[in-house]
Chain A
Amino acid sequence: MTLLNPSVSIKNLDLSFGAVKVLQNLNLDIGDGEFLVLLGSSGCGKSTLLNVIAGLLEPTDGQIWIKGRNVTWAEPSERGIGMVFQSYALYPQMTVEGNLTFGLRNARVPKAEIAKRVARAAEILQIEPLLKRKPGALSGGQRQRVAIGRALVRDVEVFLFDEPLSNLDAKLRADLRVELKRLHNNLQNTMIYVTHDQVEAMTLADRIAIMKGGKIMQLGTPAEIYGKPQNLYVADFIGSPSMTFFDGTVEGDVIRIPDHDLPLGTYEFAQRPASVRPAIIGIRPEHVMTGDNLRSAPYKAEVIADLVEPMGSDTLVHCAFGGQTMRVRMDGQAQVRAGDRLMIGIDPGAASLFDKETEARL
């Protein structure tokens, strides 16, 4: 997908530390006002990429364009970006106000203008009562608000977030996530957000780029990433608990997995294999049908519940199927105990099929 008017554009980017290639020939266009999430496990290069966009790391090769300007050699402060860090990175000896205004004072912005912008940011983030305090006297959530405020007052085109919620506890994280989404809806700035938390990625993103080993494995909307993962890595990475994978062979309209032949009539092939081909089918726990939904299932089987994990809102059942331990997500109200027999239904139309050799989607 090429965008006509990208806000941030990364062209043929390479970065290596000595012999280690951290980013390899990376191309990425981020639209104006888009919320893009870089998602990946640690060491995949997502934070490195963000640092290169910010100008805190020098690329080995390639270009960074922001708002139609080649900023590859520009200082971080000249790129029109604001950045929020995981550890907040507030200046400990300055008050909240000092933290907010530091960048503006460096840029010699007139005093009246500074006061106006601080007042606006403080109002948006509801930190007015904290302005005279030092960071040490703030809670984690308040500190992160101030850190966001520091990016906000700079009045920039692009916001960069480096795992901003990872240091907060679960409840606060959920609250601030919602606030960030609201902030994006109101400001309509371009935001690039690095995280390893797929819930954050799914809820916040307009588009997600899943990275592994310095490459983008898939770039797409949350629905595309979740529903039609382009390869085995993405399929395994997204979803919690993750898909159960079965080795098998595709023969015409059927995939043969141990003990079962699943019909593929409802499956939309991306590339239909010409002949008999070894393949992997991945089935999400929430796509296994039970109870009343069974009627519409193209394929039914009886299994024995092996282990039951009640989680309140829903219940996760482990059972033996097709030579694997399959995870089945059931309603939280379902009365299941280990050893119970239950009927399950599978719709391969909702499943994902991958080539065994290339691990690409079929």
Chain B
Amino acid sequence: MADVGILAATKAAEQPVTALLDSPRGPKPVRRFSRSNIIIYGTLFVVALYYALPLYVMIVTSLKGMPEIRVGNIFAPPLEVTFQPWVKAWQEACTGINCDGLSRGFWNSFQILIPSVILSVAIASVNGYALSMWKFRGSEVFFTLLMIGAFIPYQVMLYPIVIMLREAGLYGSLTGLVLVHVAFGMPINTLLFRNYFASIPEELFKAARVDGAGFWAIFFRIMLPMSLPIFVVALIIQVTGIWNDFLFGVTFTSSPERYPMTVQLNNIVNSVQGVKEYNVNMAATLLTGLVPLVIYFASGKLFVRGIAAGAVKG
């Protein structure tokens, strides 16, 4: 048996040698303040600031009174917070002869949005499902034609559509506008759904057919429960697209009573008479942008959850 003291001494002498031999071992040390990290985070910070600043200015201005705005310091926080501009934008701002604020436009937009989104997503999902799973003779040609539709500029089609709606007796009505939105949302949403359904294994579809499920049974009972993520994506695209639309709204509605919110906002902000009420304009703009914002915030979580649910499919 060796002397414990000698053993300990040799051990101690060995330590630095083994430490050197062994030195790259375990996790690699992370350098938090490396040059590349500073560049990346610095750039991100500047870009974030660049995007956040206008929003900050808008919120701050909308909460100030006119005298304070005239002082001219747009970055300064309000000395006296007032919600009067918001109330005025919603209830009292005038467009033409109507002086009941943006609320009218809001309800118009709402009445356009709900049926347009439901119809376009419903039709596009069935389109995409049929084009990816039930290929028929000429289905590829059909799909190509639909895609070409996505590349023709809207302006080219405005006048023909006006005539078509007039002949159908729908010009100027919200129904006509809804139809236009549904038609124009079709190419991109069909593409979206087709590609999503094409990624679902074909064998699943075959198994369902062997199990005696038909076109609608497979769609509703097999495909739909698996497609939450793509429905959320389509929903986001359609809601923001239709809500933010200005061109169709101004073209296909005939009277100020039926103007969607965006058109009304434009009329309020661009009115040339009287004093420019910057605070009211800012509040009106924020109010108009609220719906897409809410959709992003609300469905963002749903979106992530949907993707997570899709990730564990069998």
Contact of B211 (CB < 8 Å), options: A51, A77, A93, A162: A77
Majority-rule SS of B interface residues: helix
Range for the number of chain B residues in contact with chain A: 10 to 19
With a CB–CB cut-off of 8 A, which chain A residues contact B225?
A: 93
Report whether B314 and A136 are in contact in the complex, using a CB–CB cutoff of 8 Å.
yes
With a CB–CB cut-off of 8 A, which chain B residues contact A134?
A: 314
If the complex has contacts A87-B203, A92-B226, are A106 and B211 also in contact, measured as CB distance less than 8 A? yes
Contact of A106 (CB < 8 Å), options: B204, B213, B313: B213
Rounded to whole Å, the gap between the CB of A154 and the closest CB of chain B is: 8
Contact of B201 (CB < 8 Å), options: A76, A83, A87, A154: A87
Report whether B226 and A93 are in contact in the complex, using a CB–CB cutoff of 8 Å.
yes
Among B206, B222, B313, the most chain A Cβ lie within 10 Å of the Cβ of B206
- At the interface, yes or no: B312 with Cβ under 8 Å from chain A? yes
What mask results when residues 209 to 227 of chain B are scored 1 for a CB within 8 Å of chain A, else 0?
1111100010001100110
Chain A: interface residue total (CB-CB under 8 A): 32
With a CB–CB cut-off of 8 A, which chain A residues contact B226?
A: 92-93
If the complex has contacts A92-B226, A93-B225, are A54 and B314 also in contact, measured as CB distance less than 8 A? no
If the complex has contacts A90-B314, A106-B217, A135-B314, are A56 and B212 also in contact, measured as CB distance less than 8 A? no
Q: How far is the CA of A87 from the CA of B206 in the complex (A)?
A: 11
List A residues 45-96 near B (Cβ within 8 Å): 51, 54-56, 75-78, 81-83, 85-93
Report whether A82 and B210 are in contact in the complex, using a CB–CB cutoff of 8 Å.
yes
Report whether A103 and B210 are in contact in the complex, using a CB–CB cutoff of 8 Å.
yes
With a CB–CB cut-off of 8 A, which chain B residues contact A93?
A: 222, 225-226
With a CB–CB cut-off of 8 A, which chain A residues contact B217?
A: 106
Q: How far is the CA of A91 from the CA of B213 in the complex (A)?
A: 12
Contact of B203 (CB < 8 Å), options: A81, A86, A103, A106: A86
Rounded to whole Å, the gap between the CB of B213 and the closest CB of chain A is: 5
- At the interface, yes or no: B208 with Cβ under 8 Å from chain A? yes
Q: How far is the CA of A153 from the CA of B221 in the complex (A)?
A: 19
- At the interface, yes or no: B71 with Cβ under 8 Å from chain A? no
List B residues 166-218 near A (Cβ within 8 Å): 201, 203-204, 206-213, 217
Q: How far is the CA of A77 from the CA of B207 in the complex (A)?
A: 10
Residue of A nearest to B222 (CB): A91
Among B203, B213, B217, B313, the most chain A Cβ lie within 10 Å of the Cβ of B203
List A residues 106-145 near B (Cβ within 8 Å): 106-107, 134-136, 138, 143
Rounded to whole Å, the gap between the CB of A18 and the closest CB of chain B is: 12
With a CB–CB cut-off of 8 A, which chain B residues contact A76?
A: 206, 209-210, 212
Report whether A89 and B207 are in contact in the complex, using a CB–CB cutoff of 8 Å.
yes
Q: How far is the CA of A150 from the CA of B201 in the complex (A)?
A: 18
Q: How far is the CA of A51 from the CA of B207 in the complex (A)?
A: 11
Rounded to whole Å, the gap between the CB of B306 and the closest CB of chain A is: 12
With a CB–CB cut-off of 8 A, which chain A residues contact B213?
A: 77, 102, 106
Among B203, B217, B312, B314, the most chain A Cβ lie within 10 Å of the Cβ of B314
Contact of A56 (CB < 8 Å), options: B204, B209, B221: B209
List B residues 207-256 near A (Cβ within 8 Å): 207-213, 217, 221-222, 225-226
Contact of A83 (CB < 8 Å), options: B204, B206, B222: B206
Report whether A92 and B314 are in contact in the complex, using a CB–CB cutoff of 8 Å.
yes
Among B203, B211, B221, B312, the most chain A Cβ lie within 10 Å of the Cβ of B211
Rounded to whole Å, the gap between the CB of B203 and the closest CB of chain A is: 4
If the complex has contacts A89-B204, A91-B204, A93-B226, are A83 and B313 also in contact, measured as CB distance less than 8 A? no
With a CB–CB cut-off of 8 A, which chain B residues contact A103?
A: 210-212
If the complex has contacts A88-B314, A92-B226, A136-B313, are A106 and B207 also in contact, measured as CB distance less than 8 A? no
Q: How far is the CA of A143 from the CA of B210 in the complex (A)?
A: 18
What mask results when residues 291 to 330 of chain A are scored 1 for a CB within 8 Å of chain B, else 0?
0000000000000000000000000000000000000000
Among A77, A78, A86, A92, the most chain B Cβ lie within 10 Å of the Cβ of A92
Q: How far is the CA of A81 from the CA of B210 in the complex (A)?
A: 8
With a CB–CB cut-off of 8 A, which chain B residues contact A55?
A: 209
Report whether B313 and A89 are in contact in the complex, using a CB–CB cutoff of 8 Å.
no
Residue of B nearest to A77 (CB): B212
With a CB–CB cut-off of 8 A, which chain B residues contact A75?
A: 209, 212
What mask results when residues 106 to 125 of chain B are scored 1 for a CB within 8 Å of chain A, else 0?
00000000000000000000
If the complex has contacts A56-B206, A86-B203, A91-B222, are A150 and B211 also in contact, measured as CB distance less than 8 A? yes
Rounded to whole Å, the gap between the CB of B137 and the closest CB of chain A is: 12
Residue of B nearest to A78 (CB): B212
Among A55, A106, A134, A138, the most chain B Cβ lie within 10 Å of the Cβ of A106
Report whether A91 and B209 are in contact in the complex, using a CB–CB cutoff of 8 Å.
no
The 22 sampled A-B contact pairs (Cβ below 8 Å) are: A54-B210, A56-B209, A76-B210, A76-B212, A77-B210, A83-B207, A83-B210, A85-B206, A85-B207, A86-B203, A88-B314, A89-B207, A90-B314, A91-B204, A91-B221, A92-B313, A102-B213, A103-B211, A103-B212, A136-B313, A138-B314, A162-B203
Apart from the given pairs A77-B213, A85-B207, A90-B314, 15 other A-B contacts in the complex at a CB distance below 8 Å: A56-B209, A76-B206, A76-B209, A78-B212, A89-B201, A89-B203, A91-B221, A91-B222, A92-B226, A92-B312, A93-B222, A102-B221, A103-B212, A107-B212, A136-B314
Top-7 shortest CB links A-B:
A77-B212, A135-B314, A103-B211, A93-B225, A89-B203, A106-B212, A89-B207
